[in-house]
C-alpha cells in the first residue's frame, strides 16, 4: 500500500516490537530457570512451563519450589539482613541507585519480556510499568538515604516474605522490594506462577548492581509456594498483593505468629461522571480506567456511574470510542487491548458476562484468535447486581446512573471494597466535596490510574490494609525500637467476699453516653492487693459489645467534627480529670497496691494534652508528583476502633489508647483493664462532664479473652487494637479476617506507658488511614 493510499484510508499498519533480545536472554538460560537464592541461581528442578498468552506458546520452564528451597531462601535472607541494615542508609542508597540505573538501562528488555510473559500491550509495559519501576527504585534510594534522619527510633523489620500477582509483575516486585531494601530488610519474593520471568531478570540485575547475596531471594512456583513463604517461621513481615480470597487465607495463616502483614487486594472501583464533566476527557480516562491492561487491574475503574441527564450522550461516546479500540498482538505498538493472562481467567470473564441481565455492547472489531476478550460495556444494572459487586478482572465495564451527588456517593460506596475511585467534574467545589466522602484509599479527580512512588497506594475495607509508596509505605517495613520488657499476664488480685456493704456500688457499662446494666446481669468483685473488696463491675457479654458498637457507629458526627473542636474537648477531659486527681490517684493505689497513683494521673493529664495538641495537626501533607498537578495525602479516621486496654496502668493505659483514637476522629469501644477496671468506670463521670457526644467513647468491663473474638469478628468494627496482657493476639488476627479489619496487637512486649513509647506517631498512624487524592491541573 502506498503512502497516498494510507492517507486516504487511514488504515493502521502493524508495528511490532522485536522479541529477539528477550528470546536471546531466555535462550542464554537454556530456557530453564531455577530459583535465585543467596546471590545465585539454583539448578532448575520440578519444572513447569510459562507461556506467552497471546500465542499460547511456551516461553520457558521455571521451577516449582520445595519446602527445602523456601527454607534455604529464608536462611539466606536471615544471614544477610543484619549486615545489610548495618551498611547504613547511604550504603544502601548507593546500591539502590545502581539498581534503578540498571533497570532503566535495560528498560526495553524488561518491557518486552513482560509483554511476552503477561500479554499486556508493549505500549503499557514500555511507557507505564517499567518507568514506574525505576522511579520506585530512585525514590526509595532517597528513602534509604534519609532513614536515619527522618525515621529516628525505627529499625528494619527483618526478613520480608512477599507474594505478588501477575497483572503488573515487575511493578509489583518494585513496590514490594524497594521500600523493604531501603529500610534495611532482606526479602524472599514469590512472583505469580504465570509471570515470573521479569523477576528472574531482576535477580540478575541485583547481582550487577552489587546487592549483597542473600538480601534479595526469588522463589518461583504456585500458591503452595506462596503458602510456604508466608507461613515460614523465619519470615518477620508478609506483604501480599492479589485476590481478597487469598488475602483472607493469609490473614488467618499468619494470625498470632507475630508477623506484621500488609494486604493489597481486590476492588470494584467507581468511575463517577458528573453532568458538568469534560465528557471527551472522561471517555479517554475510561479507556485508561478499564481497558488499561485489559481491565486486569486491582484499581480498574470498573463501575461506571453517570449522572442521569448525560447518560445516553456519554454511553454513545463510550461506544464510539470502543469501536476504535484495537485488540490484538500485545507486541504491536499500536494495540490498545492485549491478551488475557491465561485461558482460566478468560473463561472466568466469559462466564461472568454470560450471566449478565444488563444490555451488553461489544464493538464489532476483529478479534484475533487466542486468549483475547473484547472490550465490553454493560448498562442498565442496579447497584446490587452481582456484576456491579464482584470483581471481573477483565475488559468489562458495568454501568448505572445517578441523579444527585449524594446518590453518586451512596452508590459509589455500596461495595465491600474500597481501593480507588475516580470522579470527573469541572466544578472544583463539587470535586473536593465528594472526594473525602468516597470510601477508598485513592481518589483521582479528572484523571485515572495515576501512580507514583511518592504517593501511597492501598485500600480500605476488604481491599486490604497498608500503603505502598510515600512516607506511609515505610511504616510496614520498619518497626519502633522498643526497650520494653516481655509481656507477662497480670493476674487480678483475689480475695474473699463479693458484696460491698450499703448502697449498690456496682459500676455499670458506659454505652452511648449513658450507664447501662450488663445484659447478662453478671457482676464480679474487684479486689485490692490485700484481698479487700474495692467495688464491683459488670461483666459485659457479646450483646453488650454489639450495643456499644452500634452506639459508636451512630456517633458518626464526631468523625466530621473539626480537629479544633476535638482538641477542645480533649483539653476539657484533661481539666476535669485533674480536678478529681486525688480521687483517681487513691483509686489507682488501691487497685495496684502501689504508690504511683499521683504520677499516673499526672501522666494521663499530660497524655490528653498531647493528643489535644495533635488533634488539629495531623491532617496530612502534599506530595510532589511528576506531573502538572498535586496529590494530597489526607489523614482520615479509621472509623470504629475496638480496643482492649492495657492491664499495667489502669488509667494511663486507657487514656493512651482512647485519646489518639478520638483525637483523629474515630469512635471507640474500649474494654477496660481486667486488673484495674474501676479506674475506667470512675472515668465515666469525667466523660459525662466534658461535652463529649454520646457514643464516641464506649467503655465495657469484662473478660478480654471472651470479648476479643466477638470484637474482632464484628462486621461494623473497622479496627481492633489490643494491649491486653491476656493471650488474645492470635484470636484477634484470625477473627479479623471476616471483614479484613485492621489489627494492632501486642507483639509480646509490654509497653512502658509512662515513657515516650506510650504515645506519639505510632498511635496517630494506627488511628488514621491515608487517602491519596490526585488533582491534576491546567489545560
Ligand atoms: P491469587 O490471589 O490467587 O494469586 C496472587 C498470588 O498469590 C500468586 O503469586 C499466587 O501464587 C499466590 N497464592 C495463591 N494462593 C496462595 C496462598 N494460599 N498463600 C500464599 N500465596 C498464594 O490471584 P489469581 O488466582 O492469580 O487471580 C484470581 C483473581 O484474583 C483474579 O481474577 C482477580 O479477581 C484477583 N486478583 C487481584 C489482583 C490485585 O491486584 N488486587 C491481582 C491478581 C488477581
Of 264, 600, 636, 674, which is the active-site residue? 264
What band does 47 get if pLDDT is binned at 50, 70 and 90?
very high
Highest mean pLDDT among 337-341, 342-346, 609-613: 609-613
> Who's near 230: CB < 8 A, 6+ residues apart?
161, 163, 238, 240, 250, 253, 254, 259
Residue of 197, 242, 464 to test ligand 1 pocket, by largest number of atoms within 8 Å of CB: 242
Residue 440 · residue 415 · CB < 8 Å: no
pLDDT score recorded for residue 8 = 78
How far is the centre of ligand 1, averaged over its atoms, from the C-alpha of 165 (Å)?
A: 6
Residue with CA at minimum distance from ligand 1 atom 26 = 165
Q: Which atom of ligand 1 approaches the CA of 341 most closely?
A: 26
Q: Where are the alpha helices (DSSP H) in 255-304?
A: 279-290
Task: Give yes or no for residue 250 CB within 6 A of ligand 1.
Answer: yes
- pLDDT tens profile 723-772: 999 999 999 999 999 999 999 998 777 889 999 889 989 999 999 999 99
How far is the centre of ligand 1, averaged over its atoms, from the C-alpha of 228 (Å)?
A: 15
d(CA 775, CA 72): 46
The DSSP element (H or E) to which 111 belongs, if any, is helix 107-118
Task: Give yes or no for residue 419 CB within 6 A of ligand 1.
Answer: no
Task: Give yes or no for residue 166 CB within 6 A of ligand 1.
Answer: yes
User: Does the active-site annotation cover 264?
Assistant: yes
Task: Give yes or no for residue 244 CB within 6 A of ligand 1.
Answer: no
Dmax (CA) for the chain in angstroms is: 106
CA angle 156, 161, 162 (to 5 degrees): 110
Q: Is the dihedral of CA 242, 245, 246, 248 positive or negative?
A: positive
The DSSP element (H or E) to which 323 belongs, if any, is helix 311-324
Total residues belonging to the chain: 779
How far is the centre of ligand 1, averaged over its atoms, from the C-alpha of 631 (Å)?
A: 29
Answer whether residue 500 shows pLDDT above 70: no
Task: Give yes or no for residue 298 CB within 6 A of ligand 1.
Answer: yes
Task: Please give the ipTM for the structure prediction.
Answer: 0.95
d(CA 245, CA 347): 19
Strands 533-538 and 523-527: antiparallel
Mean pLDDT of all residues in 55-73: 97
DSSP 460-474: SGGGEE--BSTGGGG
On average, the pLDDT of the chain sits at 95
Mean pLDDT of all residues in 263-273: 97
95-119 per-residue burial string, b: 16 or more CB within 10 A, e: under 16: bbbbbbbbbbebbbbbbbbbbbbbb
Answer whether residue 502 shows pLDDT above 90: no
Q: Decide: residue 142, CB within 10 A, 0-12 exposed, 13-18 middle, 19+ buried.
A: middle
Task: Give yes or no for residue 420 CB within 6 A of ligand 1.
Answer: no
CA 267 to chain centre: 12
| Coil/strand/helix, residue 365 | coil
Residue with CA at minimum distance from ligand 1 atom 29 = 243
How far is the centre of ligand 1, averaged over its atoms, from the C-alpha of 4 (Å)?
A: 50
Q: Which residues share a beta bridge with 48?
A: 62
Task: Give yes or no for residue 241 CB within 6 A of ligand 1.
Answer: yes
* Lowest-confidence segment of 366-370, 427-431, 662-666, 742-746 by average pLDDT: 366-370
Q: Which domains does the chain have, with CATH numbers?
A: 36-43+64-265+474-479 (3.40.605.10), 270-449 (3.40.309.10), 493-631+638-769 (3.40.605.10)
- pLDDT tens profile 392-401: 999 999 999 9
Mean pLDDT of all residues in 554-574: 98
Task: Give yes or no for residue 242 CB within 6 A of ligand 1.
Answer: yes
Mean pLDDT of all residues in 88-109: 98
Distances (CA, A) of 338 to 19, 56, 334, 373, 448: 16, 13, 10, 9, 20
Q: Which atom of ligand 1 approaches the CA of 247 most closely?
A: 2
Residue with CA at minimum distance from ligand 1 atom 19 = 227
pLDDT score recorded for residue 497 = 65
How far is the centre of ligand 1, averaged over its atoms, from the C-alpha of 751 (Å)?
A: 37
Q: Which atom of ligand 1 approaches the CA of 250 most closely?
A: 19
Residue with CA at minimum distance from ligand 1 atom 13 = 223
Exposure on the CB side of residue 486, measured as CA atoms within 13 A:
2
- pLDDT tens profile 23-40: 999 999 999 999 999 999
Contacts 24+ apart (CB under 8 A), 619-626: 619/563, 620/770, 623/452, 623/454, 623/455, 623/470, 623/772, 624/454, 625/450, 625/452, 625/454, 625/455, 625/774, 626/135, 626/452
Number of neighbouring beta carbons within 10 Å of residue 57: 10
Residue of 118, 165, 396 to test ligand 1 pocket, by largest number of atoms within 8 Å of CB: 165
Amino acid at each position: 500500500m502506498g503512502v497516498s493510499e494510507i492517507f486516504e484510508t487511514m488504515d493502521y499498519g502493524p508495528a511490532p516490537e522485536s522479541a529477539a533480545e528477550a528470546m536471546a536472554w531466555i535462550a542464554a538460560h537454556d530456557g530453564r530457570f531455577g530459583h535465585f537464592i543467596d546471590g545465585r541461581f539454583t539448578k532448575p528442578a520440578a519444572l513447569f512451563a510459562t507461556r506467552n498468552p497471546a500465542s499460547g506458546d511456551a516461553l520457558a520452564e521455571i521451577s516449582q519450589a520445595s519446602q527445602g528451597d523456601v527454607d534455604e531462601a529464608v536462611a539466606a535472607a536471615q544471614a544477610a539482613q543484619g549486615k545489610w541494615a548495618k551498611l547504613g542508609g547511604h550504603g544502601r542508597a548507593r546500591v539502590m541507585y545502581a539498581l534503578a540505573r540498571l533497570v532503566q538501562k535495560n528498560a526495553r528488555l524488561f518491557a518486552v519480556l513482560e509483554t511476552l510473559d503477561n500479554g499486556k500491550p508493549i505500549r503499557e509495559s514500555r511507557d507505564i510499568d517499567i518507568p514506574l519501576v525505576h522511579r520506585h527504585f530512585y525514590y526509595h534510594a532517597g528513602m534509604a538515604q534519609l532513614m536515619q534522619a527522618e525515621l529516628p527510633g525505627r529499625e528494619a523489620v527483618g526478613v520480608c516474605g512477599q507474594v505478588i500477582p501477575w497483572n503488573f509483575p515487575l511493578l509489583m516486585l518494585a513496590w514490594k522490594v524497594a521500600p523493604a531494601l531501603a529500610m534495611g530488610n532482606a526479602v524472599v519474593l514469590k512472583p505469580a506462577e504465570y509471570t515470573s520471568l521479569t523477576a528472574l531478570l531482576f535477580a540478575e540485575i541485583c547481582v550487577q548492581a552489587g546487592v549483597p547475596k542473600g538480601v534479595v531471594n526469588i522463589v518461583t512456583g504456585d500458591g503452595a509456594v506462596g503458602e510456604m513463604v508466608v507461613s515460614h517461621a523465619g519470615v518477620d513481615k508478609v506483604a501480599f498483593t492479589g485476590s481478597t480470597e487469598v488475602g483472607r487465607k493469609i490473614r488467618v495463616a499468619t494470625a498470632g505468629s507475630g508477623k506484621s502483614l500488609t494486604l493489597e487486594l481486590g476492588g470494584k472501583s467507581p468511575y463517577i461522571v458528573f453532568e458538568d464533566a469534560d465528557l471527551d476527557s472522561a471517555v479517554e480516562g475510561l479507556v485508561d480506567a478499564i481497558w488499561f491492561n485489559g481491565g486486569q487491574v486491582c484499581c480498574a475503574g470498573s463501575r461506571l456511574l453517570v449522572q442521569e441527564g448525560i447518560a445516553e450522550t456519554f454511553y454513545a461516546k463510550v461506544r464510539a470510542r470502543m469501536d476504535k479500540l484495537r485488540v490484538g498482538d500485545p507486541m504491536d505498538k499500536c494495540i490498545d487491548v492485549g491478551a488475557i493472562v491465561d485461558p482460566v481467567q478468560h473463561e472466568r470473564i466469559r462466564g461472568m458476562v454470560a450471566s449478565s441481565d444488563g444490555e451488553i455492547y461489544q464493538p464489532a472489531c476483529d478479534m484475533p484468535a487466542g486468549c483475547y476478550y473484547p472490550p465490553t460495556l454493560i448498562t442498565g444494572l442496579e447497584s446490587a447486581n452481582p456484576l456491579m459487586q464482584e470483581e471481573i478482572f477483565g475488559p468489562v465495564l458495568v454501568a448505572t446512573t445517578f441523579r444527585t451527588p449524594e446518590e453518586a456517593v451512596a452508590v459509589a460506596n455500596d461495595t465491600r471494597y474500597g481501593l480507588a475511585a475516580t470522579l470527573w467534574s469541572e466544578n472544583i467545589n463539587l470535586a473536593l466535596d465528594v472526594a473525602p466522602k468516597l470510601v477508598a484509599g485513592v481518589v483521582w479527580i479528572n484523571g485515572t490510574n495515576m501512580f507514583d512512588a511518592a504517593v501511597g497506594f492501598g485500600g480500605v475495607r476488604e481491599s486490604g490494609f497498608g500503603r505502598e509508596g510515600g512516607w506511609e509505605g515505610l511504616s510496614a517495613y520498619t518497626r519502633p525500637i522498643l526497650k520494653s520488657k516481655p509481656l507477662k499476664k497480670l493476674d487480678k488480685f483475689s480475695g474473699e467476699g463479693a458484696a460491698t456493704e450499703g448502697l449498690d456500688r456496682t459500676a455499670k457499662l458506659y454505652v452511648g453516653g449513658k450507664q447501662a446494666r450488663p445484659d447478662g446481669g453478671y457482676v464480679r468483685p474487684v479486689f485490692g492487693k490485700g484481698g479487700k473488696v474495692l467495688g464491683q463491675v459488670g461483666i459485659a457479654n457479646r450483646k453488650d459489645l454489639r450495643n456499644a458498637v452500634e452506639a459508636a457507629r451512630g456517633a458518626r458526627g464526631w468523625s466530621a467534627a473539626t480537629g479544633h473542636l476535638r482538641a477542645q474537648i480533649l483539653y476539657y477531659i484533661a481539666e476535669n480529670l485533674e480536678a478529681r486527681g486525688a480521687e483517681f490517684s487513691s483509686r489507682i493505689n488501691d487497685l495496684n497496691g502501689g504508690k504511683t497513683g499521683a504520677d499516673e494521673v499526672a501522666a494521663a493529664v499530660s497524655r490528653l494534652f498531647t493528643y489535644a495538641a495533635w488533634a488539629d495537626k495531623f491532617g496530612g501533607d502534599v506530595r510532589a508528583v511528576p506531573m502538572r498537578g498535586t496529590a494530597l495525602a489526607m489523614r482520615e479516621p479509621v472509623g470504629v476502633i475496638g480496643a482492649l486496654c492495657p492491664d499495667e496502668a489502669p488509667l494511663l493505659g486507657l487514656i493512651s489508647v482512647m485519646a489518639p483514637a478520638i483525637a483523629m476522629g474515630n469512635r471507640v469501644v474500649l474494654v477496660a483493664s481486667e486488673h484495674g477496671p474501676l479506674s475506667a468506670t470512675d472515668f465515666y463521670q469525667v466523660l459525662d462532664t466534658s461535652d463529649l457526644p454520646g457514643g464516641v467513647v464506649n467503655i465495657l468491663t469484662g473478660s478480654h479473652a471472651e470479648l476479643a473474638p466477638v470484637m474482632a469478628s464484628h462486621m461494623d468494627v473497622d479496627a481492633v487494637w489490643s494491649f491486653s496482657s491476656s493471650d488474645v493476639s492470635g484470636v484477634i488476627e484470625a477473627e479479623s479476617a471476616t471483614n479484613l479489619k485492621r489489627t494492632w496487637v501486642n507483639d509480646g512486649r509490654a509497653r512502658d506507658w509512662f515513657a515516650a513509647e506510650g504515645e506519639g506517631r505510632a498511635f496517630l498512624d494506627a488511628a488514621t488511614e491515608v487517602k491519596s487524592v490526585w488533582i491534576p491541573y491546567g489545560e
